[in-house]
Structure 1
Amino acid sequence: MAYREVVEVIRARIEAGELSPGERVPSTRQIVAEFGIAMATASKVLAALRQEGLVRVLPGVGTVVAGGVREPEPELGRGRIVRAAMRIADAEGVDALSMRRVASELGTGAMSLYRHVPGKEELLLLMRDAAFGEFPLPPSPPAGWRAQLELSGRRLWAMYRRHPWLARMTSLTRPYAGPNQMPYSEWNIRALTGLGFDDPTIFRLHLSLFVYVHGSAGSLEAERREEAETGLTLSEWLIAREDTTRAVMESGAFPNSVRVFLHTDTGLDLDEIFETGLRSMLDGIQRRIMEP
């Protein structure tokens, strides 16, 4: 279906009163699911509706039907730009993000954004730090190094869960000392201090924990992207390939894999896999502490 046809359908709903002024219109993901079009095409649909004045972007709410009492929009600033960019990345993936796309979301010109953010690279860094700011660590840490590292690791995982695009936007080799990110480093390094490790070891252990969470989160972003591109959930994808997979597994060449993959009721629960790995990493630190 062409994007113009989808625009006509949503326009008809608005004109018929099925969507009232101030009511949210279907999101890009909802449009993709209903009409079977690509995410980029769905974004084009909403852009066309905005250009026609049928809908408008309401900060903190989303795209709503135009009309009714118009709430004053906050002044354009760095914070508002970053929040809009995060909404786009959450809904459509980071590949859909551009300064022009953010400007369209905010109903302004692209050049007006550059007065607040130098460009996309800086915007991505600000988005990353803002995500950390949504999951602040408590002012008082729990007792014990292990409880402290469990807490910080799980909050990082929750952050990646909310914003899967972070997996590609966060670099180990090019760290960004943002005001919301540094408390995580300080927290972990403090937890590891006084356990008998020298500073280089503390540094490596801290980074290893971060790499574990970050690497595990790559599956979240990849799964979100694959689902958007193929239209298949993980379960649907596995079912579609069940015959091929079973033929390989039952060839007799992989008895251990058959025992674990086919005869164990575990599934691919990413949260359970994350927890298993986190516990294993902390067990390893515990053994190192106990070494003479």
Structure 2
Amino acid sequence: MPTEPPYLRIAAALREEISQLPPGAKVPSTRQLASAHGVANATAAKALDVLRREGVIRAEPRSGHVVAGQHAEVESKRPVLSRDRLVRAAIAIADTEGVAALSMRGLAARLGVPAMAPYRYLSGKDELIFLMADTVYGETGYPAREPEGWRAQLELVARTLWSVHRRHPWLAHLVPLTRPWPLPNLAAHNERALAALSVFGLDAADLCDLNVLFYNHIQGTAIHLERERHAMGTTGITEDQWMEKQARGYAALTGSGRYPVLARMVRDLAEEGYDLDLDHLFEIGLQALLDGLAVRYPVGGAVSGRQDQGS
């Protein structure tokens, strides 16, 4: 499992030290923390910022940081811990930093509670992530009036699920299609998709295949939302800057004469301009999938499924 970010570990250790100090006592500087923990100054500064936002420390002009006198008051006003609060806080961390940044200890540190406090409400990180996924799948409902026709119904489900993945890019990376979780709120989306697909009169295996294929288009496209954010965070360069760095490599490929169609496409895109838009790809992929279903499974016509795939 991924470990918590270094700045949260430093914040937790410093919080424990501070609990033994009186108000006004001087807190180690950014440079001292960085040296003691073997991290960059920016990481140490981030740890101090966590404690400052919690009200545990405060900045003093020309003195650095000191233990805040109002720490006890902050503790007394802190909202009561609950399973829902833990899940919501974990979702906020995953939305901004990705699931890799999430840990039980780090979550406790973010909420300013003892490291073991979350375990009073959750068995561990696996249960936490399960509840996070179910919670976000339940954020968006459906109109009371069902749209007419299987195609409109599937479009509604697809766009609803896409909006969920758009808000929570980490969601697509949790589990493979081959090992689905029994999430009640995801089951509600699946039920609508299956009801729309049932118009084709397929057996259970074919119906399951189509439902998985349908969801795979959504999840498979959404995976790249988080991957791009991760790439941006680790490399510090944008998509355009990345492509500029690859220009020499693509020039070698397209100039070799071995890939004429690729060369023509790259040349035309360079002249016309092109931005890879995942929202656009989701839409054209959805329409292509639904067009294919309409042809392969005409309502009221001959049905072809697994039994004739080899023909």
Write the distance in 1 (CA, Å) between the matches of 2:241 and 2:224.
17
State the shift of 1:151 in Å: 1.2
In structure 2, which of residues 266, 278, 283 is the aligned counterpart of residue 270 of structure 1? Answer: 278
- Quote the residue 2:224 is aligned against: 219
SS of equivalent to 1:177: coil
- Quote the residue 1:60 is aligned against: none
- Quote the residue 1:25 is aligned against: none
Matched residues, number? 248
State the shift of 1:162 in Å: 1.1
Question: Which residues of 2 match residues 124-143 of structure 1 at below 5 A?
Answer: 124-143=129-148
In structure 1, which of residues 277, 281, 284 is the aligned counterpart of residue 289 of structure 2? Answer: 281
Question: Which residues of 2 match residues 1-292 of structure 1 at below 5 A?
Answer: 43-50=46-53, 53-54=56-57, 72-264=77-269, 265=272, 266-290=274-298, 292=302
Q: Which moved more, 1:121-130 or 1:233-242?
A: 233-242
Where structure 2 has 5 or more consecutive residues not aligned to the other structure, the ranges are: 1-6, 12-39, 59-67, 303-311
Q: TM-score, normalised by structure 2?
A: 0.72
Q: Which moved more, 1:217-226 or 1:39-48?
A: 39-48
C-alpha deviations, 1:137-180, integer Å up to 9, x for none?
Answer: 33332111111111111121121111111121133222222221
Contact residue 38 and residue 229 of structure 1 kept, 8 A? no
The structure having more radius of gyration, on CA atoms, is 2
Q: Which moved more, 1:236-245 or 1:71-80?
A: 71-80
CA RMSD of aligned residues (A): 2.8
State the shift of 1:127 in Å: 0.7
SS of equivalent to 2:184: coil
Contact residue 132 and residue 159 of structure 1 kept, 8 A? yes
Where structure 1 has 5 or more consecutive residues not aligned to the other structure, the ranges are: 8-36, 56-64
SS of equivalent to 2:199: coil
Distance of aligned partners of 1:45 and 1:239 in 2 relative to their CA distance in 1, 3 Å threshold: farther
Contact residue 128 and residue 170 of structure 1 kept, 8 A? no
Distance of aligned partners of 1:269 and 1:262 in 2 relative to their CA distance in 1, 3 Å threshold: farther
State the shift of 1:82 in Å: 0.5
Distance of aligned partners of 1:117 and 1:233 in 2 relative to their CA distance in 1, 3 Å threshold: same
- Quote the residue 1:13 is aligned against: none
| Equivalent residue letter for 2:218 | V
Write the distance in 2 (CA, Å) between the matches of 1:262 and 1:110.
56
State the shift of 1:248 in Å: 1.8
Overall identity of the aligned pairs, in %:
39
SS of equivalent to 2:200: coil
